Structure 1
């Protein structure tokens, strides 16, 4: 009997098998007869999405020996024998289906591309992690100047004591939240008098009255008031009465009358200052949004915040939301959400109608389900808009059962027990975690130190002495500044480290050498020549400039000549596909956010706690904050009523003593800040697998005690030592629109121009809605935007001619009578493959077409198509035909592969 619950949530503590349960849920739906295309699983990181996809495939391949089998049987109501009997069919169906396992950002991107023109952008936009900061700032300042608001910007900077970059950062934060401001009434204060002057008049009158009495010298000193700023430093200003301390002996009621009037005036001044701040800030926010929209449309480049906000706007009017949700709903019956505690209000606002439709169980959603996992103890992204309260609010609203996962499968028992002791009494709803029998052992140490860097270095050396490799050690810090200090300290002691900065692709030695060489070729400045020579360890005479006209080809030659062909260099060659020419590389390469291959990174991992979330390390050292904790001190205090933003306050020192509403909001914020800190510590301590060391200050927020628990006896390492580099053997070839790194299976002469033209033509063919002449123009325009700068106008015109010839070809028109799948990706024999065009006829037969832009036939071309045919037979079954389509501006020729 099936134990499947349509509406269920798991509160998944660290290491408790979150991905395991997501995969079990997903596979149970497949074995219960649901189509893969009807299931949408959303995560927060590409790593998590890729891991889930891989786990689904691996679990199906080896299901008979995996723990998932019994759980799938329990949920689906099928016997294990019945499940194993269906496994091959389910795997084939999964591999040939349209799979919706993605990040929530990618899911929103899919929505936006469908309705991009309604949002005023082209569907071919590029998703980026950030906009070009300098260009954006220049555009914003131009907008401010043209609007005559430069004085407002200066006044706001003076009022809030902020620099321009601080204001720009604040505007970026407001931009991400500005959809929540709808319906919020900003404070307005109209005063008929000058509050500063009136407050000083009352203060002087009160001072004179008090000083006219016999007072001690210390009391007299407190009544000396030079100016308004000095007034705000007086403790007596915020007292309910002057009848206290030394003033008690000379008190008279008139003093309290003046004090009360003074307090009211100061409060009005603070409220007036708040109103001026928000009025100026929101005027600038309007110009910020206008500038950002202009940059987006100019560059056709959107960040994930842009995408989310555009989708939210579409749903609020530009596209009838019922129609949009109908389009999405037609293929979504089951929704699985990962890391739900990190969901923002805006993200949930977009998802809410979909969840409501599933919950209502109407139409196609009859028999639908909603499942989410998360852990409010790991909610550490409030500064990005994450609202942990959503977890229980949504569960209550949609009547979702919440069950805890109570076993930690990641950490050794000693680590788990320590975490339980630390947090059981400090976190609401904390459920102590258990450990399986296989996780006995482990080691925990807490050390107090006034020299934390020195103590941490000693702990690392102790790990090295007992045979622990640097690659197995991670150090977690509170701030980026602490991480940088630690990196400098360890490097001074000749230890290899991997930090956020050093893990970037552009910071790898081989890639830096290439970049410096390209800059030397472009700028012809000797500084770049010397940098390149130093990185390569050669004499500067060996670095000679050339005219870079074929970017990738010449970079490959440079890498070969200097024998620096590691995996980072290979990845960098692929990344160069995204740049039009050497000029764009010279000026834009610093924005490249790609990480280097993990196999090229060796050393002790250093990262902040926020960056460590979702990761695990064999041996973890947690470093207490190095400096004095600074108050977060954001200018704005956001007050929420449940999930709804109800009010904004401008943060002013001392205001809480006079304004009860502000005090309530500030108290709520302090509670949330405390929870953020506690959650961050929980995340840090639960990254460890075998050992955990905490280097703390004596006054720790966790009330820790020094000590050691367990024994430092560890399992053998699975980390492999770095292998010596092989010489670079790289050729850029094209199998259709395959911008990804592909396995080289044929020995073609590299021709950069031909490869780029082939990529452009394949892209145009993919962009055609239907294989009809009236689809050519839109496809060519899409290809022009992506490849025009690389191949030129002449090649674009030639591409149009080639497509017109193809659309008139009788063989092509006959073959494409059926359901067409363009750029069809699939796994076969452990590798990702891509078929240019796969067609299913009405009779159920399959045709494979592989486009070629040259005329020369080769055995490798036919072998490639035959491999595709074998894969289709194995995965889909049925009769399969294969064709090579040789296409140019003069003719089209089909060769059948038998």
Structure 2
């Protein structure tokens, strides 16, 4: 690896081209160049990828070590050959591998996700952005944030917001979602977006009124024209702007409009131009008004969300990212940031770079620039980025494919040519399909010689069954699955990919009914509460409450009919979810006895009985049962459900996999069946359109239907947005097609297919019989497990439990008391960090501020340090520790109690116990505590039968005068 050429290196890695191998190779190469493993920051996008990367590097080092010890393996040979190719000599590899392998095993390499890295950074610098160091990652309820925000507003503000939303035909919920969108922007970005319009003091309503008046002038003229058709007359008889936007051609191109060809409107050309200018102004002014209102309330909203975050001590991943951005761009000096990190970052390896969002890149960019601006060879500093714009499919999460190209524009760049994943037939098919979809597509090659190819694989492009329009796709998918199984394919090697989570569950239900014995594993991003069995249980609990109310007469007279109607609704829901005919709802109570339980039954008991009676003991229902155990009443549990965030449990990995394309990214399967969209396409729901300049947001536009016809700047931004969406459609299909190793089956609809943009030609390659040798496992080869009886030896049983030292601290009722306690903790920490860890005062101050900044001011922290340092540097303390070893926070267990000595000084002749106190209250108790420590040391000395040592104990009061700081305790 030419160090000057590849010090800042970008690898464009198409699907299956050995991306992980090259990342691992780069890491190992850096180790051989002298890099410290802990100074190499390796960032991935998933925990699974991070774990795989660590294990790959570990295994490759082990293979290489074995290879140099003449234990030749294929893997060791591959790594060895790759490193030799990069310019390392055989002698150098053999000389260094043992020490490098040992150092890697002893180190804690930073191979982590971007989210985890941001989390770790924020933990170190939390107080600089107003967050407690004990924060957890989770989701704060949007309802609670909205409630806090609205409660901070005055009644007049609320009325004005309602009036504004009503006037602009915006739902309150939509206005709140706009605030959420703006929340993720930095303050300077918000200020730069949508500057004030250059013209017009007119209000939006006045502009609309002017437009409609001028439209009426033209309309009145057309009415006087005998040759005008009724359609021509209706063109200009508009009641609002929306109706004008629905048929804009009458204004934009009226000379060629079919309805207006017989009418001479040339005398109204000036009026038309005025209308077009006013329409443009209308959209600009309306957008400006909306942005002005958002800006008016965004800072109040930010404060409300910050308060909710602090109250719950919870931050979402987006919140953590935003705080990191604030930290690096606003709140902290760059030099101090690098100083406070555990070790300096000298190398960065970034995986899946195409999935990086704009804000993630803005956070990482200063660190990358810091490395690039330094001095030294590749072993001292480097950046390595791997990505593939064709696999950028997370636009909905904020990823921006252009980040990768922007980041690597001055890097050395290379492409990986070979596809090590797929069969020749699949590779050729994908090359043929996608060559026209991507501007710079490089056809992939099969890495082996033709003589080494055992089988070409297969590709099948099929259409849905015609006999049933609703289930045509389901039937064809099921038929294709059966063909694979009949030809010997192992069910563990088959994956069915879909576009949406709902499609996963729909296919699973259908296939389970058609092939009952088949093991099916579903992997979705769906919530636990979207699972059918959980929906049944929720409806049943609601029914139990209603039934009990009706039976016990717990209702107002005028609400009886409403209760009966609601109960009937839940009956129908339960019957539908159970897959039974509607007429069965009349017999529901007779069939499901658990529904007659009293309403005060604990929810866990009710759910357990329902699971047993309905025979729905599946992973999701068991997880739901587990959640209910924290509640005593059904009503309380149901009220808590809307605030809960819980993913559906992951099943075991044995069986046919059904998952979304997004979920399949980064995975590979022997046989892939790709299913078309089962439901229609969803129109874009975004509220704002962004215009970019390179990778910076240049402008933001409020999305209004029809605006593009009258606002060229908006039209340009909208077209660019649609192009990005179109490109992501291609990317999605590329990711789906390239998951297949041996065979790919594509099942498409006749109309409205997601594959229409590819113009696929139907084909139906034969699926050859797959012999048991080719399959990883074969059903016939699985034998009945042998039962082995083994008697476990007795290790005794636990009869006692460890207890902490008694904490006699009473309840804390005032802030001064709380401040004093935290001040005491800070004082203890100074002794521990200075004596035990030999830290500098600058480092100690930084750590104390991170630990106790929530309660202590900087001046209080400095004061605590001064008290402790002065005590340590006193003549008495220096004499006591002269020639002695120092250990801090010494823990031991005696008589089932856990004790902890603040500081222990010792040499061959003496032990000295030090216990730090901020005040002399409860002196008797303090003395007894020291005596406990001293007695333990005496007994320890006797047990070990060593030379008898003298034991002394001191209570240390750092806040007192120098001559009163050390109080000796005698036994």
2:135–2:313 Cα contact (<8 Å) kept: yes
User: Quick check: 1:705 aligned with 2:761?
Assistant: yes
Kindly report which structure 2 residues correspond to 1:781-800, keeping only aligned pairs within 5 A, or say none. Answer: none
C-alpha spacing 1:370/1:460, structure 2 compared with 1 (3 Å): same
Structure-2 change in CA distance of 1:531 and 1:312 (3 Å): same
Corresponding residue for residue 640 of structure 1 = 692
The residue aligned with 1:141 is: 150
Secondary structure at the aligned position of 1:638 is classed as strand
Unpaired segments ≥5 residues, structure 2: 68-72, 545-593, 788-792, 808-824, 838-843, 854-876, 898-928, 947-971
Contact 2:669 2:739 in 1 (8 A): yes
Question: What does residue range 143-182 of structure 1 map to in structure 2 within 5 Å?
Answer: 143-144=152-153, 148-149=157-158, 151-152=160-161, 155-156=164-165, 159=168, 161-162=170-171, 164=173, 166-178=174-186, 181-182=189-190
- Asked if 1:207 is matched to 2:222, the reply is no
C-alpha displacement at 1:430, in angstroms?
0.8
* 8 Å contact from structure 2 (residues 403, 695) kept in 1: yes
More displaced stretch, 293-302 vs 218-227: 218-227
**Matching residue of 1:448:** 463
Q: Aligned-pair RMSD on alpha carbons?
A: 5.1
2:211 alignment partner, SS class = helix
Q: 1:163 to 1:31 in 2, by over 3 A?
A: same
Instruction: Name the residue aligned to 2:207.
Output: 195
Moved more, 335-344 or 454-463: 454-463
- Whether the aligned pair in 1 keeps the contact of 2:523 and 2:650 (CA below 8 Å) is no
User: What is the CA distance between 1:638 and its match in structure 2?
Assistant: 0.4
Residues 338, 374 of structure 1: 8 Å contact kept: yes
Question: Which whole-Å deviations, capped at 9, do the CAs of 1:100-150 have from their partners, x for residues lacking one?
Answer: 11111111222211111111122221122x223443333233235678245
Does residue 462 in structure 1 map to residue 483 in structure 2?
yes
Q: What residue in structure 2 maps to residue 731 of structure 1?
A: none
Change (3 A) 1:115 1:769: farther
Distance 1:167 1:702, change over 3 A: farther
Pair 1:260-2:273 in alignment = yes
1:718 matched to 2:776: yes
| Residue 753 of structure 1: how far off its partner (Å) | 8.8
What SS class does the counterpart of residue 462 from structure 2 fall into?
A: strand
Compared with structure 1, are the counterparts of its residues 569 and 486 closer, same or farther at alpha carbon in structure 2 (3 Å cutoff)? closer
1:433 lines up with 2:444 in the alignment: yes
Displacement of 1:367 in angstroms is 3.4
Distance across 1 between alignment mates of 2:713 and 2:775:
57
Distance 1:268 1:307, change over 3 A: same
- Counterpart in the other structure of 1:374: 387
Is 2:496 the counterpart of 1:475? yes
SS at match of 1:499: strand
Deviations 1:416-463 (A, max 9, x none): 211111101111111111123367432211112252222212222222
User: 2 CA distance for matches of 1:496 and 1:157?
Assistant: 53
Alpha carbons 1:475, 1:622 under 8 Å: kept? yes
Task: Tell me: CA distance 1:349–1:470, structure 2 relative to 1, closer, same or farther (3 Å).
Answer: same
How many positions carry a matched residue from both structures?
A: 764
**CA gap 1:243/1:169 in 2 versus in 1, 3 angstroms:** closer
Secondary structure of 2:408's counterpart equals helix
Q: Which is worse superposed, 607-616 or 292-301?
A: 607-616
Aligned position for 1:486: 507
- SS of the aligned residue for 2:439 comes to coil
CA contact under 8 A between 2:35 and 2:379: conserved in structure 1? Answer: no
Answer whether contact 1:511 1:572 (CA < 8 A) is retained: no
Secondary structure of the 2:118 match is helix
Mark the structure with the bigger radius of gyration. 2
Q: CA deviation at 1:668?
A: 0.8
Task: Report matched runs for 1:759-770 at 5 Å.
Answer: none
> What is the CA distance between 1:664 and its match in structure 2?
0.9
CA distance in 2: counterparts of 1:427 and 1:331, whole angstroms: 39
Are 2:102 and 1:41 equivalent residues in the alignment? no
User: Match for residue 306 of structure 2?
Assistant: 293
Shift, 1:619, TM fit: 2.1
**Residue 125 (1) aligns with residue 135 (2):** yes
1:723 and 1:144 map into 2 onto residues whose CA distance is 70
Point out where structure 1 has 5 or more consecutive residues left out of the alignment. Answer: 541-561, 728-743, 759-763, 786-807, 821-836, 838-848, 858-886
SS of residue matched to 1:474? strand
Structure 1 residue 749 corresponds to structure 2 residue 798: yes
Superposition deviation, residue 483 in structure 1: 3.4
CA 1:169 to 1:61, structure 2 compared with 1: closer, same or farther past 3 Å? farther
Counterpart mapping for 1:560-709 below 5 A: 587=640, 591=644, 593=646, 596=649, 600-698=652-750, 700-709=756-765
Tell me the SS of whatever aligns to 1:249: coil
CA 1:223–1:37: 2 relative to 1, 3 Å = closer
Kept after mapping to 2: 8 A contact 1:505/1:511: yes
Q: Tell me the alpha carbon deviations over residues 532-582 of structure 1, each in whole angstroms, 9 at most, x when there is no partner.
A: 134356999xxxxxxxxxxxxxxxxxxxxx9x9x99999999x99xx9999
